[in-house]
Chain A
């Protein structure tokens, strides 16, 4: 396959970036998208040019590190698939493909296609946990969890923290990411004591990080490689309203 790439190149956080065009004549349909970039990079290095920086690690769709906006869509055209699991057979010979980084103020570009997502860690840090110091746990069977709640919690917990939701959101909001964690922990009996405190702190951290406000446009779910459902956000809103309306006492 012949592929033309238009890639965002930016030397460093403070530099101006621009789109640069590259041509590849010998792309195998069996390659993954990132393997195609590997091939391009090998070529660039031997030509004495700077290879394209991009984030990736597991290449199995689970670590959440890969993060490319391909033809305007985070993680590219295939639904429920991370960039690293996208294969070139999804494209046609002769295609022109644009590749850009996640774009959000809270995700500043470090270099080329690599962005800084530490804002997500800040949101978790603010309250995305259950306080259960090591050694303090009762027997695992002391608290049964109804299967439907456990399954729903698991679905929300599947979030890989990639940030595609933010990249896709017209508001640059990270509400889906935040809501996924609020839902995961809020559905479990173990998560109840901190439930209302947690949601307030996490939303505050979300806003402080510079993410936009949620208007439930649903672009996030459409882009999410794990299909985190939009109603996690409803759940977050419900808990948030309950917490801020003072109907529940804060636990701390």
Chain B
């Protein structure tokens, strides 16, 4: 390696997954795990950061088991975690449709969909637990869609060949989260969970290399306080907001995992991000976030752009012959239903050719004129009415008359803190669940699988595996005051610094600029040249941030600018690692497309010989080259093959 942007460290391995037949591994692990004596559970405190599907379900379940739980979220109520926004549904291998689904098939689809960059043991366990999740949620009163016979309805989602997706209209995430939230509140009432909303975790407290607590800032009065316990669980969601514009909530951030990373937790596959093809395009510089339109629209809508670049006629005035239905043209077999990453990249390509439509030329048409002709306007209304209404509310255009405009947007981050089979990071006592860990989705997540993973982690995996850690580390002792003081002073120093700069640029302006860089060079299509450029731009922007940022107000009250500043400061560091990861992985796989690695047809080309591993990065200091630890991936059950959608 002639490059110095990273160094190679020792390989890393997951030591917790048992060997043997894959379908027995989880049972075996549960049996081998040490148990905490019921009388001792009350004396064990677990700190859970985050109240989304992962954190909410974990907090409730740990409290039910008898542990004392202290839990945090930055919103004003645990019910508002970003899981609430998930629309489509949740997968489970129930095979209620008798269409040939099984645990093994869900496992197979997930490994393949992840483009062979996920761990088989974990994915199998996920598929195995999926059925229990549905049982649990139904018992809690989650109002899933039902058929006239009173049984649960299923649909096929994201191009899956079987109908295994359970849903609650377009609000599945909301309903699942409310189920977990209510279970959590029941434990709050029982006195087993101490809940702290409007608190943001800013630092991890470590003693003898173990995670023992967190430093949080009370967002209402600015108080900095440390909470300690026997183990810490991070369930803080994804980091898609590093791109500024994404489908994530405004507050979604990387702060918790990034600060844990800087304390020693390895960060895995940071460059694996998922871009969703059907989002409402940007309407101007004021844009603050992007809204997802359900993927189901591609079932009946036809995607096209004008044949001629710069054709600014009204879409209804462009004759058939001058339209390019490019997905149908390039992928005759799958047409408009090609997978997310392929549809996204194709849209980018036609826009790069100057054929994009709408403000800034960043959009393609999704046209329902044929569907309306074929099915009748009422049928279209019945199927997509609420989506059309939402589109009209946001854009002011009537999609029944004018084709919709769509464009891809950042949606999900497959990367995250590295965890073993027990969901424990490389810091003992620090567990990471949900979107925050590098998860089971490899290089690409299948639709309706994130909800499944968050709930599997929180309800069923972590409550079993954390017991093993707590039982083996029975005599942790008090947290020394110096450890607390040291962590708190680091937090205080950063806050003081941010407030003292008093420069001439707002936090948002930096965030927006960072987003542009990331979208341009580390977005849908990545090149060596672009990534190298980004690796120059990002540190320069970071340096400017710490010189010119203006954070008004004080540290001792509600200060939303200060909150944002801390998050953007972390994004400015994480972005660099993402680019390094993307640069080092010279293959294309899943959501990571390197222009240099494609076949003659322009399809992603994996390089299994050199990259069949998880890239787990170690922090070495700001601006220092990180250390790469490789976890080799083995495929015993699903043999890697190349995807093709032609």
Given that A132-B140, A141-B96, A144-B149 are known contacts, is A39 also in contact with B76, CB under 8 Å in the complex?
Answer: no
Interface string of A106-144 (1 = CB under 8 A from B): 000011001011101100111011111111111111011
Given that A144-B151, A190-B140 are known contacts, is A65 also in contact with B75, CB under 8 Å in the complex?
Answer: yes
The answer to whether B289 and A85 have CB atoms under 8 Å apart is no
The answer to whether B135 and A130 have CB atoms under 8 Å apart is no
Closest to A143 in B: B138
Enumerate chain A residues within 8 angstroms of B178, measured Cβ to Cβ. Answer: 157
Interface string of B58-85 (1 = CB under 8 A from A): 0011001000000000011111101011
Interface-facing stretch out of B16-24, B346-354, B414-422, B556-564: B556-564
- Could you tell me the distance in whole angstroms from the C-beta of B453 to the nearest C-beta in chain A? 16
Q: Determine the distance from Cα of A12 to Cα of B221 in the docked complex, in whole angstroms.
A: 9
Checking A53, A65, A124, A141 against B182 with a beta-carbon cut-off of 8 angstroms, the contacting residue is A124
Name the residue in A78, A111, A137, A153 with the highest tally of chain B Cβ atoms < 10 Å from its Cβ: A137
Q: In this assembly, does B181 line the interface, its C-beta being within 8 Å of a C-beta of chain A?
A: yes
Given that A45-B506, A134-B459, A137-B135 are known contacts, is A118 also in contact with B197, CB under 8 Å in the complex?
Answer: yes
Q: In this assembly, does A55 line the interface, its C-beta being within 8 Å of a C-beta of chain B?
A: yes
Closest to B455 in A: A134
Q: In this assembly, does A35 line the interface, its C-beta being within 8 Å of a C-beta of chain B?
A: yes
Q: In this assembly, does A38 line the interface, its C-beta being within 8 Å of a C-beta of chain B?
A: yes
Q: Determine the distance from Cα of A111 to Cα of B195 in the docked complex, in whole angstroms.
A: 22
Q: Is the interface of A mostly helix, strand, loop or mixed?
A: loop
The answer to whether B76 and A125 have CB atoms under 8 Å apart is no
Interface string of B120-160 (1 = CB under 8 A from A): 00000000000010111111110111111111100000000
Enumerate chain B residues within 8 angstroms of A81, measured Cβ to Cβ. Answer: 393
Given that A28-B284, A158-B171 are known contacts, is A124 also in contact with B289, CB under 8 Å in the complex?
Answer: no
Q: In this assembly, does B220 line the interface, its C-beta being within 8 Å of a C-beta of chain A?
A: yes
Q: Determine the distance from Cα of A32 to Cα of B291 in the docked complex, in whole angstroms.
A: 12
The answer to whether B288 and A59 have CB atoms under 8 Å apart is yes
The answer to whether B140 and A65 have CB atoms under 8 Å apart is no
Checking B60, B146, B396 against A150 with a beta-carbon cut-off of 8 angstroms, the contacting residue is B146
Given that A121-B185, A145-B150 are known contacts, is A62 also in contact with B557, CB under 8 Å in the complex?
Answer: no
The answer to whether A132 and B183 have CB atoms under 8 Å apart is yes
Enumerate chain A residues within 8 angstroms of B181, measured Cβ to Cβ. Answer: 124
The answer to whether A154 and B182 have CB atoms under 8 Å apart is no
Q: Which interface class (under 10, 10 to 19, 20 to 34, 35 or more) fits B?
A: 35 or more
Closest to A123 in B: B185
The answer to whether B135 and A138 have CB atoms under 8 Å apart is yes
The answer to whether A87 and B171 have CB atoms under 8 Å apart is no
The answer to whether B80 and A129 have CB atoms under 8 Å apart is no
Q: Which B residues, 66 to 116, have Cβ-Cβ distances below 8 Å to chain A?
A: 75-80, 82, 84-85, 94, 96
Given that A28-B286, A85-B393, A110-B220 are known contacts, is A125 also in contact with B139, CB under 8 Å in the complex?
Answer: no
Checking B288, B395, B459, B463 against A38 with a beta-carbon cut-off of 8 angstroms, the contacting residue is B288
The answer to whether A141 and B220 have CB atoms under 8 Å apart is no
The answer to whether A116 and B138 have CB atoms under 8 Å apart is no
- Could you tell me the distance in whole angstroms from the C-beta of A251 to the nearest C-beta in chain B? 15
Q: In this assembly, does B622 line the interface, its C-beta being within 8 Å of a C-beta of chain A?
A: no
The answer to whether B85 and A35 have CB atoms under 8 Å apart is no
Enumerate chain B residues within 8 angstroms of A30, measured Cβ to Cβ. Answer: 283-284, 286, 395-396
Given that A57-B250, A137-B136 are known contacts, is A118 also in contact with B77, CB under 8 Å in the complex?
Answer: yes
The answer to whether A140 and B138 have CB atoms under 8 Å apart is yes
Q: In this assembly, does B311 line the interface, its C-beta being within 8 Å of a C-beta of chain A?
A: no
Q: In this assembly, does B174 line the interface, its C-beta being within 8 Å of a C-beta of chain A?
A: yes
Given that A118-B76, A157-B175 are known contacts, is A126 also in contact with B150, CB under 8 Å in the complex?
Answer: no
Q: Determine the distance from Cα of A111 to Cα of B565 in the docked complex, in whole angstroms.
A: 19
Q: Which B residues, 279 to 322, have Cβ-Cβ distances below 8 Å to chain A?
A: 283-284, 286-289, 291-292
Given that A48-B552, A137-B139, A157-B178 are known contacts, is A131 also in contact with B288, CB under 8 Å in the complex?
Answer: no
The answer to whether B135 and A139 have CB atoms under 8 Å apart is yes
Checking B143, B151, B284, B459 against A31 with a beta-carbon cut-off of 8 angstroms, the contacting residue is B284
Enumerate chain A residues within 8 angstroms of B140, measured Cβ to Cβ. Answer: 129-130, 132, 190
Closest to B182 in A: A129
Checking B79, B139, B390, B561 against A45 with a beta-carbon cut-off of 8 angstroms, the contacting residue is B561
Enumerate chain B residues within 8 angstroms of A161, measured Cβ to Cβ. Answer: 77, 79-80
The answer to whether B552 and A35 have CB atoms under 8 Å apart is no
Q: Determine the distance from Cα of A68 to Cα of B557 in the docked complex, in whole angstroms.
A: 20
Q: Determine the distance from Cα of A51 to Cα of B508 in the docked complex, in whole angstroms.
A: 13
Q: In this assembly, does B460 line the interface, its C-beta being within 8 Å of a C-beta of chain A?
A: yes
Enumerate chain B residues within 8 angstroms of A34, measured Cβ to Cβ. Answer: 288
The answer to whether A38 and B508 have CB atoms under 8 Å apart is yes
Given that A57-B250, A65-B76, A140-B94 are known contacts, is A132 also in contact with B506, CB under 8 Å in the complex?
Answer: no
Q: In this assembly, does A252 line the interface, its C-beta being within 8 Å of a C-beta of chain B?
A: no
Checking B64, B175, B249, B561 against A51 with a beta-carbon cut-off of 8 angstroms, the contacting residue is B561
Enumerate chain B residues within 8 angstroms of A62, measured Cβ to Cβ. Answer: 84-85, 171, 174
Checking A39, A56, A57, A150 against B145 with a beta-carbon cut-off of 8 angstroms, the contacting residue is A150
Q: Determine the distance from Cα of A129 to Cα of B182 in the docked complex, in whole angstroms.
A: 5
Name the residue in B132, B138, B149 with the highest tally of chain A Cβ atoms < 10 Å from its Cβ: B138
Closest to B76 in A: A117
Enumerate chain A residues within 8 angstroms of B463, measured Cβ to Cβ. Answer: 134
Checking B148, B174, B396, B558 against A29 with a beta-carbon cut-off of 8 angstroms, the contacting residue is B396
The answer to whether A125 and B189 have CB atoms under 8 Å apart is yes
Name the residue in A29, A32, A133 with the highest tally of chain B Cβ atoms < 10 Å from its Cβ: A133
Given that A63-B80, A190-B141 are known contacts, is A134 also in contact with B64, CB under 8 Å in the complex?
Answer: yes
Interface string of A208-220 (1 = CB under 8 A from B): 0000000000000
Given that A12-B557, A45-B506 are known contacts, is A58 also in contact with B85, CB under 8 Å in the complex?
Answer: yes
The answer to whether A188 and B151 have CB atoms under 8 Å apart is no
Enumerate chain A residues within 8 angstroms of B132, measured Cβ to Cβ. Answer: 135, 137
Enumerate chain B residues within 8 angstroms of A56, measured Cβ to Cβ. Answer: 250
- Could you tell me the distance in whole angstroms from the C-beta of A61 to the nearest C-beta in chain B? 8
Please list 30 pairs of residues, one from A and one from B, whose beta carbons are closer than 8 Å in the complex, sorted by A's number.
A38-B286, A51-B552, A58-B85, A59-B250, A59-B288, A60-B292, A62-B171, A62-B174, A63-B80, A63-B249, A125-B188, A125-B189, A129-B182, A129-B185, A129-B186, A132-B140, A134-B60, A134-B463, A136-B139, A140-B137, A144-B149, A145-B150, A150-B146, A151-B146, A153-B141, A157-B143, A158-B171, A184-B141, A185-B141, A188-B143
List 10 tightest A-B contacts by C-beta distance, closest first: A144-B150, A129-B182, A137-B139, A132-B139, A154-B143, A137-B135, A30-B283, A140-B138, A134-B61, A150-B146
Interface residues of A (CB under 8 A from B): 11-12, 28-32, 34-36, 38-39, 42, 44-46, 48-51, 53, 55-60, 62-65, 78, 81, 85, 87, 89, 110-111, 114, 116-118, 120-121, 124-126, 128-141, 143-147, 150-151, 153-154, 157-158, 160-161, 184-185, 188, 190-191
Contacts A140-B135, A146-B150 supplied; 13 other A-B pairs, CB < 8 Å: A35-B288, A38-B286, A50-B552, A59-B249, A114-B558, A121-B188, A125-B188, A129-B183, A133-B64, A137-B136, A140-B138, A144-B151, A145-B146
